[in-house]
Structure 1
């Protein structure tokens, strides 16, 4: 195992074992390096790596601290990884959305009344004849509210993290498929009504139809063109 990886694993073990807790400052570099049997250079590289993925936070002139370790903070790194994936993997992200988002919609059927009202407000704000930009922004906000209302921060962060790569596919569909705008509006309304009616399984079904429709359209389109976006 490379020395930097070994250093990362040793710091991780301290956090997992409770020796270092969220918000706690790490011992001074020389002390920690000696304690872990590492060179100070290896320790520095490990701290840099763990800072990038939001496990540690370096405060200049103050020291290095363990972050809150909240899921939404740690999963921010997912968006960084997702950005490296090109459009030929967008179907993979749509498949994951098709797995996760129906579950979120079903869970969101238990959302408080004020959140139901906020979801309706998103639908009502969409103009009767929206531009493509307005439709996509509205679509992203609609899905974000449902993911947040599911009440699971890990699920919400995962959905938000993988949403980006599928945005371009949604734009492409809106530009090329006749009736896609009305279809999106109608499906959003059906999802909302299922959630407002506290019908978890109906919300799950409509979200599956909604996400699977984009996925199937893209599969058919790419199969016809033989190329990715």
Structure 2
């Protein structure tokens, strides 16, 4: 069987059509403890994903017991556990201690969008760098805006914040979020800074849409943090603006990194 490891530890270009069944010679027993464990977990994720795609595991469906599911999917139990952990991090599965593992109650279209985004983002080695760039650029830009923003721009930001409260579509919410931060940077009057922040924001947009798909309280969380940023800007307090923007960006970065690590490093 030929394997080629892609970015982030995700296996691509597999030529075999099945992983060894548990208990066979060469089976994936002990997956997650060796350097090649990521490939087996990729197979496990793919097999679970197909059952979700076909509707066999519908939203709200409880998965069979681990021993049964491992046999059905021809996987070892350690590999299955790692796949379930990764998909729980992706927001696709809900592991309820003592009650079992369930497919989340997301609409089917959102469920598959979240899963597809998660697996794609796990292979995007540039995403971490883009998140770091955002962490460097946006707080400083927000602090600078606090010293230059006018009342008209503040009022426009306030209107945008209120408009975002009525949104339910994740992609639309992220578009408004991107516009909110772009308006703040525009208030600095620095076109070079605007260009830099725009490039970084656009490169992280898909990760933020995925987060909005699977994080149930993302709307309330975003609203509160935007209000904190807006309050600091209205007070013309550059230090408070820097701190509020830093919290906002750091929280997003930490949330995304923690969940992607479930696939990038299954043994973590």
TM-score bracket for this pair, using the shorter chain length = 0.5 to 0.7
Whether contact under 8 Å (1:106, 1:201) holds in the other structure is yes
* Cα distance in 2 for residues equivalent to 1:133 and 1:178: 14
| 1:1-16 equivalent positions in 2, closer than 5 A | none
The offset of 1:129, in angstroms, is 4.8
5+ unaligned residues in a row in structure 2: which ranges? 1-122
Residue of structure 2 equivalent to 1:109 = 146
3-state SS, counterpart of residue 87 of structure 1: coil
Residue of structure 2 equivalent to 1:220 = 258
* Cα distance in 1 for residues equivalent to 2:161 and 2:141: 18
Residue of structure 2 equivalent to 1:161 = 199
The offset of 1:123, in angstroms, is 0.8
* Cα distance in 2 for residues equivalent to 1:133 and 1:152: 28
Structure 1 runs (4+) deviating above 2 angstroms are: 127-130
**1:132 aligned to 158, 170, 178, which one?**
170
Whether contact under 8 Å (1:87, 1:165) holds in the other structure is no
Residue of structure 2 equivalent to 1:29 = none
**1:171 aligned to 197, 205, 209, which one?**
209
The offset of 1:133, in angstroms, is 2.5
3-state SS, counterpart of residue 216 of structure 2: coil
* Cα distance in 2 for residues equivalent to 1:148 and 1:169: 23
| 1:73-84 equivalent positions in 2, closer than 5 A | none
* Cα distance in 1 for residues equivalent to 2:228 and 2:197: 20
**When you count helix as a share of all residues, which structure comes out higher?**
1
Residue of structure 2 equivalent to 1:97 = 134
Residue of structure 2 equivalent to 1:81 = none
Residue of structure 2 equivalent to 1:146 = 184
* Cα distance in 1 for residues equivalent to 2:259 and 2:182: 27
5+ unaligned residues in a row in structure 1: which ranges? 1-85
Q: Deviations over 1:48-90 (max 9, x none)?
A: xxxxxxxxxxxxxxxxxxxxxxxxxxxxxxxxxxxxxx72211
3-state SS, counterpart of residue 125 of structure 2: helix
* Cα distance in 2 for residues equivalent to 1:176 and 1:143: 22
Residue of structure 2 equivalent to 1:196 = 234
Q: What TM-score, normalized by structure 1, do the two folds share?
A: 0.59
Residue of structure 2 equivalent to 1:87 = 124
Aligned length: 142
* Cα distance in 1 for residues equivalent to 2:125 and 2:216: 24
Whether contact under 8 Å (1:102, 1:205) holds in the other structure is yes
